[in-house]
Each structure stands twice: as structure tokens, then as C-alpha cells.
């Protein structure tokens, strides 16, 4: 059994797609989809700057760096997954955990792009001038983003992203012949 982590799901008001966390993916909202998938492996805490119809902690931080710094003092180590990233697989979280070696662990693409909203943070984090500088000053370990499923880092920021996610889910269900994994059995 993997080491037990707390998974933090940050939520803030979206400027490009207000209310996106409450959009439906199958029979569940984005935030329900993310938290349910994480809860199969972790204790889950949603930190939200907006009111949600799911249990959450009120986030009064000014930005993601301030939130991460506060969380690092509270939890020591934690998994962070964006509340708008509903297409990751449980195996992606297991990949993240199996590559954790006691320090902040962040997926990085071959082009250098980081995935800071799908990472494990460890130790005391101090805000930097931006999130990347904060991660670098924490002595982060980078792991190959290619280890994860193709949709692990897909996030929904616009209506076009949402429509694309719905098409992907529809295709997944059609290919499997069993319906989508996002459908809810009554």
C-alpha cells in the first residue's frame, strides 16, 4: 500500500469560465469528479476561495504561492491537484507517489513546462516572485511528464475546454463499449 498523503484541491473563481467547478462531467460536477478520484487513495481537502456545495475549507490566501506556503506549514507534505483537472487516472496519482523521494516532486515536460497543479509538495515552502521560482527554491525533483496518462494534466479553463472534455469522455465510453467511466450508475 502506498504511503498515505493528504490531497489538496485548490479552487478559485475563474475569470474565463465562471462556475466551471460546478459544470457536469457525466452525472458529477468537476469538483466532485476530482475529489472522488483522489479519495480512493488520499484524504482530500478542498481549499476554495468561492462558495461550493461540497465540503471545503475557506481559502483566504491572496494567490497560489501564499496558499502553498501555508499548506506546507500545516501538512508538511501533500499532493496538489487542480480542481479543474478531471481527466487524470488513479494510476497517475500512484505514479506521482511512487516517484516521491521526500522532496517537492513536479512533473516536467521535455520542453521544460512544469505541471505545478499536479504535484507533491514537501517541506516548508516560501513564496517567490512566481510559482516556478518558488518550486525551484524548494529544491524540487522533476519527473518526466511522459510517465503520466495523456489526459492527466488536461484542465478546463474555457467553454471550448469543457466541450473538448465532454467529447473525450464520450469517445472513451464509445471505445470501451461500456459507457463512460464518468457515468453514474443509479
Contact 17, 159 (CB under 8 A): yes
Indicate the DSSP class of residue 150. Answer: T
DSSP-derived pairing of the beta strands 28-29 and 105-108: unpaired
What's CA 130's distance to the chain center, in Å? 19
Residues 58-111: tens digit of each pLDDT: 999 999 999 999 999 999 999 999 999 999 999 999 999 999 999 999 999 999
**Residue 185 covered by a domain:** no
Contact 128, 68 (CB under 8 A): no
Domain interval for residue 140: 6-157
pLDDT tier for residue 2 given thresholds of 50, 70 and 90: low
Sheet holding 118-122, edge to edge: 57-58, 43-48, 6-11, 77-81, 118-122, 105-108, 141-144
Is 184 part of a structural domain of the chain? no
Three-state secondary structure call for residue 94 = helix
pTM of the shown model = 0.90
Q: Is residue 101 part of a domain?
A: yes
What CATH code is carried by the domain that includes residue 54? 3.90.550.10
**d(C-alpha 24, C-alpha 22), whole Å:** 6
Cα–Cα distance, 131 to 3 (Å, whole number): 26
Q: Domain total for the chain?
A: 1
131 close to 140: Cβ distance less than 8 angstroms? no
Residue 170 lies in a domain: no
- Cell digits of residue 80: 496538489
Tens digits of residue pLDDT in 33-71: 999 999 999 999 999 999 998 999 999 999 999 999 999
Query: At residue 49, what are phi and psi to the nearest 5 degrees?
Result: -90, -5
As given in the structure block, the three cell numbers for residue 18 are 465562471
**Residue 54, Cβ neighbours under 10 Å: how many?**
16
pLDDT of 1 strictly over 50: no
Domain assignment of residue 73, yes or no = yes
Distance between CA 31 and CA 9 in Å, rounded?
Answer: 8
Indicate whether 163 belongs to any domain: no
Q: In this predicted model, what pLDDT tens digit does every residue of 113-164 receive, in sequence order?
A: 999 999 999 999 998 889 999 999 999 999 999 999 999 999 999 999 999 9
172 lies in a domain? no
- With respect to residue 26, please indicate whether it lies within any of the assigned structural domains: yes
Amino acid at each position: 500500500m502506498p504511503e498515505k498523503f493528504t490531497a489538496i484541491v485548490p479552487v478559485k473563481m475563474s475569470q474565463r469560465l465562471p462556475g466551471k467547478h460546478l459544470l457536469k462531467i457525466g452525472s458529477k460536477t468537476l469538483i466532485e469528479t476530482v475529489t472522488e478520484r483522489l479519495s480512493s487513495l488520499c484524504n482530500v481537502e478542498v481549499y476554495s476561495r468561492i462558495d461550493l456545495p461540497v465540503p471545503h475549507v475557506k481559502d483566504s490566501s491572496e494567490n497560489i504561492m501564499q496558499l502553498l506556503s501555508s499548506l506546507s506549514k500545516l501538512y508538511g507534505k501533500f499532493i496538489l491537484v487542480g480542481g479543474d483537472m478531471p481527466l487524470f487516472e488513479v494510476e497517475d496519482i500512484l505514479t506521482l507517489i511512487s516517484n516521491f523521494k521526500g522532496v517537492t516532486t513536479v512533473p516536467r515536460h521535455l520542453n521544460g513546462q512544469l505541471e505545478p497543479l499536479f504535484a507533491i509538495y514537501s517541506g516548508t515552502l516560501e513564496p517567490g516572485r512566481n510559482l516556478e521560482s518558488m518550486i525551484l527554491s524548494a529544491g524540487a525533483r522533476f519527473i518526466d511528464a511522459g510517465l503520466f496518462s495523456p489526459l492527466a494534466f488536461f484542465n478546463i479553463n474555457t467553454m471550448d475546454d469543457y466541450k473538448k472534455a465532454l467529447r473525450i469522455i464520450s469517445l472513451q465510453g464509445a471505445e470501451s463499449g461500456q459507457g463512460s467511466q464518468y457515468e453514474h450508475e443509479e
